[in-house]
Chains A and B, each alone.
Chain A
Amino acid sequence: MSAHADTHAHDDHGHHHKETFVTKYIFSQDHKMIAKQYLITGTIMGVIGVLMSLMFRMQIAWPEEPNVLFEALLGKWAPDGVMDADIYLALVTIHGTIMVFFVLTAGLSGTFSNLLIPLQIGARDMASGFLNMVSYWLFFVSSVVMVISLFVEAGPAAAGWTIYPPLSAVELAQGGSGMGMTLWLVSMAIFIASSLLGSLNYIVTVINLRTKGMSMTRLPLTIWAFFVTAVIGVISFPVLLSAALLLIMDRSFGTSFFLSDIFIQGEVLHYQGGSPVLFEHLFWFLGHPEVYIVLLPALGITSEIIATNSRKPIFGYRAMVMSILAIAFLSTIVWGHHMFISGMNPFLGSVFTFTTLLIAIPSAVKAFNYITTLWKGNLQMNPAMLFSIGLVSTFITGGLTGIILGDSALDINVHDTYFVVAHFHLVMGISALYGMFAGIYHWFPKMYGRMLNKNLGYLHFWVTAICAYGVFFPMHFIGMAGLPRRYYTNSNFPLFDDTANANVVITMFAVVGGIFQLVFLYNFFSSIFFGKKAVQNPWRSNTLEWTAPVEHFHGNWEGEIPHVYRWAYDYSKPGHDEDFVPQNVPMKEGEEELHH
């Protein structure tokens, strides 16, 4: 097996390498260090994104009231502490961009794909450590550019995270469509390059560097999820890049890909023959798969954590893999459900309704398999397990309303209302965030050699869980009352006055939930230095990463890489004394590999 030979060639590699501070901590090519870099950068971006959401939530709850927080943080955009309408849209826009791309794509996939792919398949490192390093630093640069864009004179991009032209293309339409949008596009172009390098690396590594015995059908579900996510990324991110490039051409070089017949502020612009609908197609060709780029890694992490902490095999391994593949395939042919009322042909709407609702089938299979995995288990309620159960809960609640939004006839009336906001925050935002938290609680010992404090973890989970439902559950109802999203204030519509109190309640839940993330930040940063020292396999897990020693070095295992003899889910298998059998334990005589 060539993979095996390869790993041997690597054997001498890690041990004799002298590492300086710069090569170890900054321009590191070690996947474990790169994972940590992604996590820390993603966390910092996450703090910015959440802070923004708290600010615009306060504006919605107490519209146009002076707020000292705005005065302090927004400066000239909040004269006398009253938030400006332009900056409101900018906050909404940048919150979306940061959370979707920088936190839940790079922060989630970047951290856990990097950490777990080599460790769980039994490889010394990624296929290309150098490209991996470049990928992280491109992500870092794109984060810096995005943050810089917040400080430009005319304001950051404010056309919504979907940046539909002409609003995003014509500076006369909105201040944020000037320099702010330019930097947004530059940042995203760099981000996409970073994401592509990362994804290609993940794909090549999973295909080529599996240790002896690690067949595709023995891969942990985490790796399946990361692998398929990377494939979707490689297929769809280039389309967003081309959309961004065409938009840059329209903005700066006078082309008319997306623009036509525009009269604005007293002048006719020269654009002729383009179509904004074309941009919507290109954007959502990435935009919808992006939902699954965010969600699948979280589901993979959850599968692993639920099985480990239930002390049971994941129920229906093959069905889980098939449903990941089905979701991945379907995710690339449903983008039109964001465009039912965009002016595209209604017949296309019918097609997209059909494909969209099909996604509910593999999703339902996954949800029931998780629930069945819990059945008759011996559940170890570690914080990671709580977040995983929480994920299944929000995935169901948020996913179910997809049946309404995916149905073109029903979408007519709830499109772009708070119903949509509630739906996607629960099903992808909160679910993916829970997946990320679960991953951090579970693999923190692997990353830092220390344990996170579990009691703080419990506090963090329960408050977050209550606040997440407190925010997004009532939001469905004000959406059904017809309240449009992205309104700076609803006070010009007496029609919606009866939703005002609900908005105050929602904001309060959001603020409390936001503040309690400090518990997590404290736990995280203090445990890096002062946490209790971890043992090698604290959760008594089967996967290979726990066979590697606690202390890190480039190359992961001393001596030979462990061989794999079984799948990752032999928990509580009859005929064994312990309730777990790691993948590198050979089969006993007469023992059967059950899942085939």
Chain B
Amino acid sequence: MTAFLTIIIVLFIAIAIWQMVKIFDLAQVGSDNGQVATDRDNTINGYLMMGFLIFIYVITILSFWYLGDLPLMSNSASEHGPQIDNLMIISMVIIFIVQTFTQFLLHYFAYKYKGEKGKKALFYADNNTLEAIWTFIPVVVLAGLIIYGLFTWSSIMNIDETEDPIVVELYAQQFNWKARYAGEDNTLGMANVRLIDIDRANILGLDESDPNAQDDIITTELHLPVGKPVLFKMRSQDVLHSAYMPHFRAQMNCVPGMITQFGFTPTITTAEMRENPDIIEKVANINALRKERREEIEAKGQELTYEFDYLLLCNKICGKSHYNMQMKIVVETEEEYQAWLSQQQTFKNSLVK
């Protein structure tokens, strides 16, 4: 019944708009029925073009003002993060210069050269010098960006294994994450989804006969020691997922049937990040907003007060609960990390005998 009423109401609203438009339409009859722009139309729309230019600038400024704390262009928590951030800032500056300039020309010309009866346009069909200029300038700018980008990319993606990184497997399944630490030997045991044995708690399909697998440690939280390179090996058991760690400027898809990898070095511990003035401000802002929505949040059984944590998010559509596939990341000192790790069960001991 409600559904029916809603459809009726929506229908009435649509009819009302339709009728209003019709009245608006009929009111124009007689004034000018040509339906081709007149000088008056040209003038009005010329001014509106300038108005629109201002609108574009205003919305740009407002977006920066209200949304421009851009948490992803500063406060990166990994060694390669500032490289990406610098490139991002350079690109953004170029974009905004070009955007401001070209939008101005476009809308200003639309205003300046608005049509008048009897005026004749300039017959100006080509100019090779101009064409060369606006081919050459983008070539130079882009060449710079490409070279900078490629150096950044290859320095991020080429993992230096001689630095002896900690090897951690990120294991994705609908709809949660697991981490597997390689243990004492820093070598992950062999694994395949065909070896999964839920009854024996072999949930990641480790090869029980592989000596390297015995000391592996499977956890539901990701802890990383600060300042040590980490090499992630990604695996998925069902569909595509993407391991997105925005604070570390890191992301890689998890693909069933293959192992993908990404490496970085965390540089700021969770505790240090919580003391960062930008983050304090952001958290305070979020908590103020959450207070306004207190009832809704408590009804859901969530904590009202938000405390900053690094997160691993799923960022590749993976099914119904894609929107809630996350894992907490804790970056801590070497001692804290070792203490945490020693409390975890090794694979050998976690199996149900």
Contacts and interface: CB of A to CB of B under 8 A. Distances in A.
Decide whether A and B are members of one complex.
yes
A14 interface: no
B212 to A, nearest CB: 19
A40 B238 CA distance: 42
B94 interface: yes
Interface residues of A, number: 147
A473 B60 CA distance: 8
25 contacts: A69-B10, A263-B205, A275-B255, A316-B125, A350-B153, A375-B109, A378-B121, A381-B37, A393-B106, A397-B56, A403-B95, A409-B149, A414-B72, A416-B244, A456-B21, A466-B55, A469-B55, A482-B72, A490-B323, A498-B285, A523-B21, A526-B22, A531-B35, A572-B121, A579-B121
Nearest to A482: B246
Interface in B1-45: 2-4, 6-7, 10, 14, 17-18, 21-22, 24-25, 28, 33-37, 41-42, 44-45
Given A264-B174, A574-B123, A354 B146 contact: yes
Contacts of A558: none
Interface of B: 2-4, 6-7, 10, 14, 17-18, 21-22, 24-25, 28, 33-37, 41-42, 44-46, 48-49, 52, 55-56, 59-60, 63-64, 66-68, 70-73, 83-84, 87-88, 91-92, 94-95, 98-99, 102-103, 105-107, 109-110, 113-116, 119-127, 130-131, 134-135, 137-139, 142, 145-146, 149-150, 152-154, 156-158, 174, 192-194, 196, 198, 205, 234, 237-240, 242, 244, 246, 249-253, 255-258, 260, 282, 285-286, 289-290, 300, 302-303, 306, 311, 313-324, 326
Contacts of B64: 477
Given A263-B196, A458-B45, A487-B323, A350 B102 contact: no
Contacts of A459: 24
Contacts of A22: none
A238 B103 CA distance: 38
A376 B149 contact: no
Nearest to B9: A68
Contact of B91 (A315, A377, A397, A410): A410
A381 B45 contact: yes
A386 B45 contact: yes
Contact of A498 (B45, B157, B282, B317): B282
A376 B45 contact: no
**9 A-B pairs closest in CB distance:** A260-B257, A477-B67, A346-B157, A451-B35, A343-B260, A482-B246, A381-B45, A263-B193, A494-B306
Nearest to A345: B157
Interface in A369-407: 369-372, 374-382, 385-386, 389, 392-393, 396-397, 400-401, 403-404, 407
Contact of A480 (B72, B103, B322): B72
Nearest to A85: B320
Contacts of B135: 361, 364-365
B113 A376 contact: yes
A448 to B, nearest CB: 13
Interface in A314-372: 314-319, 341-343, 346, 349-350, 353-354, 357-358, 360-361, 364-365, 367-372
B113 A364 contact: no
B122 A349 contact: no
Given A404-B95, A498-B289, A374 B315 contact: no
Interface string A135-175: 00000000000000000000000011000111100100110
A166 B252 contact: no
B66 A452 contact: no
Given A313-B123, A357-B142, A407-B149, A393 B107 contact: yes
A89 B153 contact: no
Nearest to A80: B2
A539 B34 CA distance: 11
Nearest to A487: B323
Interface stretch (A29-37, A125-133, A514-522, A545-553): A514-522
B194 A261 contact: yes
A518 B326 CA distance: 41
B17 A400 contact: no
Nearest to A374: B109
Contact of A174 (B73, B99, B234, B320): B320
A213 interface: no
Given A412-B156, A473-B63, A482-B71, A275 B33 contact: no
Given A71-B2, A170-B239, A316-B126, A86 B320 contact: yes
Interface in A261-296: 261-264, 266, 268, 273-277
A260 B257 CA distance: 5
A259 interface: yes
A460 to B, nearest CB: 10
Given A342-B253, A379-B114, A481-B67, A72 B7 contact: yes
Nearest to B156: A409
A569 interface: yes
B124 A89 contact: no
Given A262-B237, A473-B59, A166 B194 contact: no
Contacts of A518: 14, 17-18, 21
B146 A313 contact: no
A2 interface: no
Contact of B317 (A69, A71, A159): A159
B193 A262 contact: yes
Contacts of B154: 346, 350
A346 to B, nearest CB: 4
A542 interface: no
A8 interface: no
Given A164-B240, A261-B257, A400 B95 contact: yes
A268 B193 contact: yes
B102 A367 contact: yes
Contacts of A412: 84, 156, 249-251
Nearest to A454: B35
A569 B59 CA distance: 37
B313 A354 contact: no
Contact of A68 (B2, B45, B105, B239): B2
B14 to A, nearest CB: 6
Contact of A522 (B21, B137, B156, B322): B21
A374 B104 CA distance: 13
A396 B106 CA distance: 10
